A and B are shown apart, each in its own frame.
Chain A
């Protein structure tokens, strides 16, 4: 041996009697790859002369480092079979042979930057595809519904019962709490205004109208969209990822009958009931504030309410809710079915469901308000 190896280097090129000798030292490992790369790129070789690679001072060698060595030497014109390898253990020789055989060129995909035209095209294409898929989903749902009407035996009662409980019963506490709170806040703020005119009793008119016609239906629908809509999408999406929906189809069942219709029906049945509960909770909250803050006793409050709040208004508030329910359930189930087979798209679809269904609820509410503007 000649001089001892450089302490901090990984390779050294020497010119001996039989041509060039590349001596490898230290740990040739993945963790040191940048340094190895830097040193290897520094070697200059005359392409013609024979090259010996000496591994006797190597501390370790792994496949990534072996690959780098062979790639670099290959680029300098030394194919694996032209190298003379000395001082390597049997394991390293095996590794070098395996890597030489499996080595592949680096193929970075060309970075495609989307120009404006491509972007527009891409979005239009996506929009078109989304529209088609929405229409297909609506069509399938309508077809399933028609089937169900002609053959009521198809109804999945167990799934329906489960959904009625999940969507309806379990939502009652949060719906009661939120609407009660809204009733309290609204009566309090309205009370401050009517007190200025000494018209405390008018709080009843305002509260009754606002809660039954707008606040309770909207708050309830938004809560249900966030709660059940998200649950529908996440559940159906996870089933899609797991191929459970395909499994249902292969069993000769319609996923629409098994999964979609029970959810739509459950939501359409439960949202009006939840809204009725919400009406009561909101008005009780308001009555409490009226008693404490405005000196309107509960008896006076409810007498006045009966006299001033027409049944029509309450019914109007309730009539919109099945439409809200339909929109929420359709959006949620459609997004669930549209999930791709990866985990991230479940999250994206769930977010989209919540946003889209809340927007849909508010738009539908606006449409109802424009269609029936008269307040008795």
Chain B
């Protein structure tokens, strides 16, 4: 009994799941997503699936629809065609209540943080928790401090307002808030943009440790080549509305597509 429990906990497939398709067992999956915005097709049949425990990166030029795709994957917007599945459930078929239950299982780090500007950093992190669970003040404070230090934010920043933080600290505070409800899945929109190179690498390292030890599945977008090499198990390349490459960093870096060639040749 102990053995099966441990196996299930460590995310190994139990017998019987073999019959299900890859997109149904995946934590996040897009199937033929098409999106039209501002009079053009931003996504024209985007498909991929991220299995449990993987750290995957979406890359692509500015304006290729990475942020829009994350918004669709988190149910903030709907694709015109195609399906989006989270934890095997099709978002289109969910009632608002079921969608909200699903949303408690993942965290989202917005491109610009989206911290509540009238709350302190600690209150920002506490906000999702107090909505879900009644905790006495000392336990809540303990949890909030843990999340802040997991995200690598110095605790003296906890009582400041977001507007009093630097860009990098805001990113970390937003990460702490995204981690608040112990998510199984994390969406990160350009987590290291606007951080200094040292801070960026440290952020990557923090994320890697968190992903490994919390068993997180992570889908992030990035423009940062270092993040790809340091952190990511898998790269999905978006170009002109389609996925043009999908694989490990080494595999993708060898691809022949001219955009990928020039992207990877920016670093020798």
Contact = CB atoms under 8 A, between A and B. Distances in A.
B9 A91 contact: yes
B100 interface: no
A89 B118 contact: no
Contacts of B149: 102-104
A33 interface: yes
Main secondary structure of the interface of A (DSSP, over half): helix
B212 interface: yes
11 contacts: A29-B182, A30-B182, A34-B134, A57-B2, A91-B9, A91-B215, A104-B148, A104-B155, A108-B137, A344-B117, A345-B118
Interface stretch (A63-71, A144-152, A250-258): A63-71
Contact of B138 (A108, A340, A341, A342): A108
Which of the listed residues A30, A103, A241 has the most CB atoms from chain B within 10 Å of its own CB?
Answer: A30
B213 A64 contact: no
B118 A343 contact: yes
A104 B146 contact: yes
Contacts of A241: 117
Nearest to A64: B143
B133 A33 contact: yes
A234 to B, nearest CB: 15
A281 B135 CA distance: 61
A89 B179 CA distance: 22
Interface string A10-41: 00000000000000000001110110010000
Interface stretch (A93-101, A117-125, A185-193): A93-101
Interface of B: 2, 5-6, 9-10, 116-118, 129, 132-139, 141-143, 145-150, 155, 158-159, 161-163, 179, 181-182, 209-210, 212-215
Contact of A34 (B136, B146, B181): B136
Interface residues of A, number: 42
A56 B136 contact: no
A-B pairs, top 5 by smallest CB distance, nearest first, are: A342-B117, A94-B213, A344-B118, A341-B163, A62-B182
A67 B10 contact: no
A185 B212 CA distance: 74
Which of the listed residues B139, B148, B210 has the most CB atoms from chain A within 10 Å of its own CB?
Answer: B139
Given A90-B10, A104-B155, A108-B137, A63 B117 contact: no
Given A108-B138, A241-B117, A341-B117, 17 more contacts: A33-B139, A56-B2, A59-B5, A63-B214, A64-B143, A67-B142, A89-B10, A99-B146, A103-B146, A103-B149, A106-B145, A108-B137, A342-B118, A342-B162, A343-B116, A343-B118, A344-B118
Contacts of A89: 6, 9-10
Contacts of A48: none
Given A102-B149, A108-B141, A95 B213 contact: yes
Nearest to A343: B117
Contacts of B155: 104, 107
Given A30-B133, A56-B2, A102 B138 contact: no
A60 interface: yes
Interface string A117-160: 00000000000000000000000000000000000000000000
Contacts of A343: 116-118
Contacts of B133: 30-31, 33
Contacts of A37: 136, 139
Contacts of A345: 118
B118 A97 contact: no
Contact of A30 (B129, B138, B145): B129
Interface in A39-97: 56-60, 62-64, 67-68, 71, 87, 89-92, 94-95, 97
A57 B118 CA distance: 44
Contacts of B179: 63
Nearest to A95: B213
Contacts of B212: 91, 94
A340 B213 contact: no
B9 A68 contact: no
A58 B8 CA distance: 12
A59 B10 CA distance: 11
A63 B146 contact: yes
A109 interface: yes
A109 B159 contact: yes
A201 B239 CA distance: 80
B163 A342 contact: yes
